[in-house]
Structures are given as C-alpha cells and as structure tokens.
C-alpha cells in the first residue's frame, strides 16, 4: 500500500509542503474533523489513525459511509457526494494532512503546465466516477426496495431540484442499477403510486411529497 509520500525524500516532502500550502492537524479520539479543516475544496490524507465519514439522514439515522485508515484520502472532491449532511469523526487519535485542491493542480508554479492541466482533468474524471460509485453504494446499502427507490429519487431530486424525474434509462436498467428484481421493483413503484407518494408513467416519475 502506497502513501502520499512514497518514493519522496524528506527534503522533497518539505518542498511539497511549501509548494502546496500543506497543513497538518492532530485530533483526539471522537473529535469532529471536518469543521476544523473545512474549506471550499480540499484533499485530506490520513497520516495516522482511524476516522469515519458519517452521514446523518433526514430521519436522524447515522450511516457510516466510509472508514478512513492510514494513507486514505477524503475531501469535498473525493468520496463525498455533494450537498450532504456529513461528519468526519476520529475514532482514534488521528493525524490529518490537508491540501488545497486548487493549489495542488494549479499550473502557475510549474513548467509543463499543460501537462498538469491534463493531470487535473484526469483527477476530475476519476473523482466523478468515484462519486457515482458512492451514490450507487448508498442505494445498494438499503435493504428494502422502497428505500432504494426513495434514495434514488432523493439523489435525482437534489441534482435537478425538480419534482419530475426523467429516468436516463429503462425501468429494467433501473432495476439492475438498484440490484433488485424488475417485477418486484415495479410492484413497489405501484405501491408508492397507490399511496400517492409518486406518479409514474413510462420514464417520467413525479415526486408528490416534494
């Protein structure tokens, strides 16, 4: 397992600290990490210890989204879905390194700046994919089809801010995406419709509770 400073000398690491405006924070067990270091756009790296990303749902339920151990990364661009109510809590004494994401890939310091723009783009692409995976996991973690559907609706609604959801794929594909049986999913959609929580015709779903 590689860490952020693999293959780098002490001198080079110090250069990096200056170049990137790195900060290191220390936390005791069970402290909130995020408010302390929060800024617009950061990458955090756990240098030592153990922390958890926890999501607080509308109903008060707390869900462990991710466990962060040594050399794991987190941040507003990584592993966190947008617009969420989350906390990062240290579970042991934890040391965290924080980098300004924009500074990280800001080419003004560097020759071959076009190359670093390219690297930044690659990062963005991977991060986008990363967020998609996390979203899907959030849905798959739900045990009931109803909850999976509602979680999916919730995510779509947050993105579009609209009551109407236009499925980007077929209902069959939706069933695959949330990993349930197609007929069973449809049955549940009907239940939601019968309870006047949604309207559905073909690929247009209207959230009546919003």
Contact positions toward DNA, by CB under 7 A?
143-146, 170-173, 179-181, 183-188, 190, 200-203
Told to check if 160 binds a second copy by CB under 8 A, we report: no
Tell me the C-alpha distance between 42 and 77, whole Å.
Answer: 7
Told to check if 94 binds a second copy by CB under 8 A, we report: no
Tell me the C-alpha distance between 18 and 35, whole Å.
Answer: 24
The residue (of 117 and 200) whose beta carbon lies closer to DNA is: 200
Tell me the C-alpha distance between 46 and 91, whole Å.
Answer: 12
Closest CA to 45 of 12, 11, 79: 79
Q: How far is the CB of 32 from a second copy (least distance, A)?
A: 22
Q: How far is the CB of 174 from DNA (least distance, A)?
A: 8
Which residue in 33, 45, 88, 97 binds a second copy (CB under 8 A)? 45
Q: Which does 203 bind (CB under 5 to 8 A by kind): a second copy, DNA, none?
A: DNA
The residue (of 117 and 200) whose beta carbon lies closer to a second copy is: 117
Tell me the C-alpha distance between 57 and 39, whole Å.
Answer: 23
Closest CA to 146 of 190, 177, 202, 203: 190
The DSSP bridge partners found for residue 100 are 42
Q: Which does 108 bind (CB under 5 to 8 A by kind): a second copy, DNA, none?
A: none
């Amino acid at each position: 397992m590689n860490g952020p400073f693999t293959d780098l000398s002490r001198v080079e690491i110090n250069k990096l600290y200056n170049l990137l405006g790195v900060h290191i924070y220390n936390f005791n067990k069970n402290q909130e990490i995020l408010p302390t270091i929060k800024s617009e756009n950061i990458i955090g790296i756990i240098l030592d210890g153990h922390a958890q990303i926890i999501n607080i749902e509308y109903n008060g339920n707390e869900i462990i989204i991710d466990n962060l151990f040594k050399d794991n990364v987190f941040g507003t661009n990584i592993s966190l879905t947008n617009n969420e109510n989350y906390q990062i809590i240290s579970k042991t004494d934890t040391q965290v390194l924080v980098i300004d994401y924009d500074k990280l890939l800001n080419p003004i310091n560097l020759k071959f700046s076009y190359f670093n723009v390219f690297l930044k783009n690659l990062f963005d692409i991977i991060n986008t994919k990363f967020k998609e995976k996390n979203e899907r996991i959030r849905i798959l973690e739900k045990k009931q089809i109803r909850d999976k559907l509602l979680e999916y609706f919730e995510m779509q609604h947050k993105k579009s801010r609209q009551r109407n959801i236009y499925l980007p794929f077929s209902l069959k594909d939706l069933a695959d995406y949330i990993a349930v049986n197609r007929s069973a999913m449809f049955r549940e959609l009907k239940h939601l419709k019968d309870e006047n929580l949604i309207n559905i015709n073909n690929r247009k779903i209207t959230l009546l509770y919003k």
